[in-house]
Structure 1
Amino acid sequence: MAELHHECGLAAVYHLPPEPEAGDGPPDWNQAGDPAPSPLVPYVDKVPRPEQTSRLIPRVLLDIQNRGQLAAGMTSFNPQRAAVLSTLKDVGSVTEVFRLNREPKYQSLMNQHAGVAAIGHVRYATCGPEDPSYAQPFERRHLELRKWFAFGFNGQLSNYAELREEILATGDRHLSRETDTEILLHLFSKELSEDPYVSPAELMARVGERLDGAYNLVFLNALGEMFAARDALGIRPLCWAREGRMFAVASESVALANLGFRHESIRDVEPGTVVSVRGGRVETERFASPPPTEDRKTAHCFFEWIYFANVASNLDDRDVYSVRKHLGEALADQEQLIPDEDTIVVPVPDTAKAAADAMAYRLGVPCLEGLLRNRYVGRTFIEGGNRADKARLKYTPLPEVLAGKKVLLVEDTIVRSTTMRALIDQLRDRGKAAEVHVRVACPPIVAPCFYGIDMSTIGELFAPAFLERPDEPPRELSPEIERAMAEDLTADSLRYLPVDSIAASIRMSRNSLCQACIDRNYPTPQGRKLYQLAINPGAGDGRTYAAAAQCS
């Protein structure tokens, strides 16, 4: 599905010093000892000394590159360096920013930014230009080490507009970027200026009580203190692991597994919890709980399982592959088309493949790669133009597979429909398919997301035009509406999954998930407010909605 983008991904690594005895004072990184033992194979050989631990960051970021391709960066900590914290960031992919295809330049950068600890970030965003100053981590330098820090942010603050106005209203503060990350920079700076000795949990408690929306953070200061934090509803995923003296954090478990951490060592950062490294010790502490008036304890974004996350990841005790397999089986169970010898299942690469395989297996028909994705179309090459043009560049139909076939085309979801229209057109014209039947492993997208996914307005969505009428309650999806949608797309037929299939496939209760974009049930007060502004633009402050929608 080429129509959706996530905001970003986080990473952190730390070569822990020996834990000091009581009264020994701060850790001595000169005595940090040998690198972490055998679990971190084969990448421990890339860390010949503890101060080279930071070079693991590009490796971790490559595994979460799916979460953001616009920019990348890292901040490292090295107490032996004049610039105790050192930040490298730029527009581009991980390979481009860290010069991974130019060995001398890569080695030079890794030596320049060497450190015993580091945080990293990959970015995609709908707010802010393609400008290096928007790349993360954000670093705030200060002469006092406790007030010198850097952090990376994943999510979206739904009350961004209100926080921005509040900061600017003071008269002596300035915001130079249109991004909620800078809001957090101000909030952290303010709290640390008032109390530089505040603990990570208390810092997050004070800042978190001001925030509405999704927020995951990795934070590193010039004393070598690090923490990772996840919002109270756990909207976005965040994982951590420790083995020996190696500690690491990533947005997805696959990145930690590929470093060599054992499965049983990888854990989710619990919602409303901080995992911190201070004085050589790793500690976890809760800083927030869900609001007592809410009827839910978590609001995990269901899109993480059906689309965003790597299929090899495990998020909140649910593996991504199994969820997509269950979705494909649910598609097969509701299939009404009678397969014949010319029927084939074709996935839209790549994330629909698990669902398509499972659907085909249950139906007893072949699952074939009738669409190939061009993996060598670079990020900058496909910039500009419309989405249909990008789809034609990224996907190639195979007439050897498709010609004369009745194609069940399996897709993760349909958001704006532009890509789907282009694919159907290509399957018919270039692939010579006899019929194209679209099967969507998701319910219709009917509402915007205000928690970090690039779909911010109702007008840009495909489904609402068929399901909603002015001054009428939303209509339920029906076979008649699906036929109208199929005709609009020029498909022979179209079938969505029902809303209940999502929680059933993830094996979680509906109240444990955020499904606002498919059921209009937003898990936070500001999300509900923004949705009301979206459906009734004249009922409130349009500037508030526009600012929040922009910063997704």
Structure 2
Amino acid sequence: MCGIVGIIGNSPVSHTLYESLSMLQHRGQDAAGIATFFEDKFYLHKGNGLLTDVFNAGNMARLLGTFGIGHVRYPTAGCASVAEAQPFYVNSPYGIVFAHNGNLTNVSDIVEDLFVTDMRHLNTTSDSEVMLNVFAHALVRRGAVHPNEYDIFAAVEEVHRRCHGGYAVIAMVAGVGMVAFRDLNGIRPLIFGSRVNSKGETEYMVASESVALQVAGFKIDHDLAPGETLFVALDGEVHQHVSLLARDKAPCLFEYVYLARPDSVLDGASVYECRVNMGTKLAAKIKREWADLPIDVVVPIPSTSRIAAQEIATRLNKPYRDALVRNRYVGRTFIMPGQAQRKASIRRKLNPIPQVFEGKNVLLVDDSIVRGNTIKEIIAMVREQGAKHVYVCSAAPPVIFPNVYGIDMPARSELAANGKTVAELAKEIDADQLIFQDLEDLKESITEACPALTYFDTSVFDGQYVTGDVTQEYLATLEKARNDTAKQSIEVQNQIERNLTAQV
């Protein structure tokens, strides 16, 4: 899960890249990086942590140029080492800097070919570096001293042929221009826009979400289509190409439920409007199935569920109370690397207002239930405040399958709803009642906001992977690689490396 941004213009871009990345910080808090291009050289700074941890006035001043890309990262493949912070760089051909959001599902197949056939070296375990080297080798094969748009498009076509999964990419090619492309199914988001500066010159930007463009004063042009490549040459000429391999657009449904900011518009659908619709449909289900349930107050679990919760309260004619106060400086819990760390962070993340809960029948609204750690701890906190009954509703269906396209929902065995009935899950989290959004209602929530969107990647809910190449063997390998034990082992190794560096 990452956020990416790229700008090619006529004025210094480093601060604009920083401001745009700040609007995408929710997509990754593990690492951040910015690369710019000036007088035939790349200038790059990256590191682990939030933008405010990685950048300061000094290193920002050294990011020269009117052309650059940026990245914020949470790792779904590879590890949390600073070596895997992006953007990545290779010097051949031309010099390429590369930022990627997503996940490849056939990395093991590609890696051997890169070494044996393409004779390229990989320095990390990141699938982003794999994709960068596929793209670089494809440009080498073209053999152009001064590549044009046709060389760029041909190289991206080779990436599409060799790399499977969900991905959005922005790259800089030294002396050539900016390249952006989206996977063949349009799973991961990518949007293009432009602005006219004070001198009347047009500048261009590509980013993961519309808010990143809007904060910098760019006007939205369009979301890249599945398999679309956008190439902006250094002279400002824009070239577009859509792969013949492209399939029907199938954006990730979880973007609308949880990942994207509510003020974003993804593939023509307002995320805010989608979440209002989710609340409307869930309220209707509550009325049908819980008609006699005594609900005194509706409380959202901050912050993604607020919009749906407000709509539910309105439709049920019940009081809405923001009674769980969030500490905004604690990260998202379901993507934290260890069970103990996630559990400890929940009570630091949320604090209840006692008088809202005492003696009340409380309806808690969550956007989704992934591992179940957050909701279980919150229910315990609410009961400690004297709640009479605690009911829970989820704006999304049960998450019972891992995501393989760039969201860190690793091991199926860790998913709370896996192998359980709703009643069994309610008992496990200690809820008096539990209700989930129906999948068809969830899909209709987005379609009603944008009628052109009718097909989605729903794999985390129904196990239907739109790329058609995800096998049980792959899922088993993924589970082994990404379970908590593996991540804790990586964290131990990272700590050893940090200690050794400190001693040196």
TM-score band (shorter)? 0.7 to 0.9
Which residue of the other structure, out of 442, 445, 454, is the alignment partner of 2:399? Answer: 445
Q: Based on CA coordinates, which of the two structures has the bigger radius of gyration?
A: 1
Equivalent position of 1:103 in the other structure:
none
- 2:123 corresponding residue in structure 1: 176
Structure 2 partner of 1:4: none
Q: Which residue of 1 aligns with 2:18?
A: 58
After TM superposition, give the deviation of residue 254 of structure 1 in Å: 0.9
Q: Which residue of 2 aligns with 1:212?
A: 164
Q: 1:391 aligns with which of 346, 349, 357?
A: 346
Q: Which residue of 1 aligns with 2:369?
A: 414
Change (3 A) 1:548 1:373: closer
Which residue number corresponds to residue 187 of structure 1? 134
Cα distance change, pair 258–327 in 1 and its aligned pair in 2 (3 A): same
**Any idea what SS the aligned residue of 1:513 has?**
coil
Asked if 1:499 is matched to 2:456, the reply is no
| 2:5 aligned residue | 11
Mapped contact 2:302–2:324 kept (Cα < 8 A): yes
Partners of 2:306 and 2:240 in 1: CA distance: 39
Residue in structure 2 matched with residue 119 of structure 1 by the alignment: 69
User: Among 449, 460, 463, which residue is 1:517 paired with?
Assistant: 460
Higher relative contact order (CA 8 A, sep 6+): 1
Who is 1:285 aligned against? 240
Which residue type is aligned with residue 503 of structure 1?
A: K
* Structure-2 change in CA distance of 1:448 and 1:379 (3 Å): closer
Task: Tell me, yes or no, if the aligned pair for 2:205 and 2:218 is still in contact at 8 Å.
Answer: no
- Asked whether 1:423 is paired with 2:371, we answer no
- The equivalences for 1:46-195 within 5 A come to 50=11, 52-79=12-39, 84-99=41-56, 106=57, 108-142=58-92, 147-170=94-117, 172-195=119-142
Q: 1:509 to 1:533 in 2, by over 3 A?
A: farther
Distance 2:179 2:424 in 1: 51
Aligned to 1:312: 263
Task: State the shift of 1:397 in Å.
Answer: 1.0
Answer whether contact 1:85 1:221 (CA < 8 A) is retained: no
Q: Match for residue 304 of structure 2?
A: 351
Which residue pairs with 2:355 in the alignment? 400
Rounded to whole Å, the distance in 2 between the matches of 1:345 and 1:96 is 37
1:301 touches 1:514 (CA, 8 Å); kept in 2?
yes
Secondary structure of the structure 2 residue equivalent to 1:514: coil
Kindly state the Cα deviation for residue 285 of structure 1 after the two structures are TM-superposed: 2.0
Question: TM-score if structure 2 supplies the norm length?
Answer: 0.87
Q: Which amino acid aligns with 2:8?
A: Y
Identity %: 33
State whether residues 8 and 204 of structure 2, in contact with CA within 8 Å, keep that contact through their aligned partners in structure 1. yes
The answer as to whether partners of 2:366 and 2:395 remain within 8 angstroms in 1 is: yes
Alpha-carbon contact 1:302-1:514 (below 8 Å) kept: yes
C-alpha distance in 2 between matches for 1:402 and 1:339: 20
Q: Does 1:222 align with 2:174?
A: yes
Asked if 2 retains the 8 angstrom alpha-carbon contact of 1:230 and 1:269, the reply is yes
In 2, Cα distance between equivalents of 1:13 and 1:168: 32
**1:328, CA displacement in angstroms?**
0.6
Partner Cα distance (1:378, 1:318) in 2: 26
Question: CA–CA distance in 2 between the matches of 1:464 and 1:391?
Answer: 22
Is 1:203 the counterpart of 2:155? The answer is yes
Q: Distance in 2 between matches of 1:110 and 1:448?
A: 38
1:334 corresponding residue in structure 2: 285
Per the alignment, residue 242 of structure 1 pairs with 194
Q: Which moved more, 1:265-274 or 1:58-67?
A: 265-274
Partner amino acid, structure 1, of 2:415: L
Q: TM-score, normalised by structure 1?
A: 0.80
Once the two structures are superposed, what CA deviation does each residue of 1:518-542 show, in whole Å capped at 9, x if it has no partner? 1111111322x2x4654xx5xxxx5
CA pair 192-463 structure 1, distance change in 2 beyond 3 A: same
Structure 2 runs not aligned, ≥5 long: 197-201, 488-504
Within the candidate set 488, 493, 499, 2:428 is matched to 488
Is residue 10–residue 152 contact of structure 1 (8 Å, CA) maintained in 2? yes
Count of residues paired in the alignment: 467
Distance 1:399 1:441 in 2: 25
Indicate the SS of the match to 2:14: helix
What's the C-alpha RMSD, in Å, of the aligned pairs?
A: 2.5
Q: 1:523 to 1:379 in 2, by over 3 A?
A: closer
1:32-47 mapped onto 2 (5 Å cutoff): none
- Paired residues of 1:339 and 1:365 also in contact (CA < 8 A): no
Question: Is the 8 Å Cα contact of residues 105 and 164 (structure 2) preserved in structure 1?
Answer: yes
What are the Cα deviations for residues 362-381 of structure 1, in whole angstroms up to 9, with x where unaligned? 1111110111111134799x
CA distance in 2, matches of 1:378, 1:453: 15
Q: Counterparts of 1:165 and 1:408 in 2: how far apart (Å)?
A: 52
User: Take 1:517 and 1:340, find their aligned partners in 2: how far apart are those partners?
Assistant: 30
What secondary structure sits across from 2:162 in the alignment?
coil
Q: What letter is aligned with 2:275?
A: R
Q: CA separation in 2, counterparts of 1:121 and 1:87? A: 11
Equivalent pair of 2:29/2:331 in contact (CA under 8 Å): no
Question: What is the CA–CA distance in structure 2 between the aligned matches of 1:459 and 1:122, rounded to whole Å?
Answer: 28
Change (3 A) 1:159 1:547: farther
Q: Distance in 1 between matches of 2:282 and 2:179?
A: 41
| Compared CA separation, residues 315 and 405, structure 1 to 2 (3 A) | same
Match of 1:359, SS? helix
SS in 2 for 1:247: strand
Q: Which amino acid aligns with 1:337?
A: W
Q: Which residue of 318, 325, 328 corresponds with 1:375?
A: 328
Mark the runs of 5 or more structure 1 residues left unpaired by the alignment. 1-6, 17-49, 100-105, 467-480
Query: Which AA in structure 2 matches 1:491?
Result: A
Q: Aligned letter for 2:139?
A: L
Deviations 1:359-417 (A, max 9, x none): 1111111110111111134799x986332211111111110211111111000111111
Residues 161 and 548 of structure 1 are in contact (CA less than 8 Å); yes or no, is this contact kept in structure 2? no
Instruction: Supply the AA of the counterpart residue of 2:327.
Output: N
Q: 1:354 to 1:379 in 2, by over 3 A?
A: closer
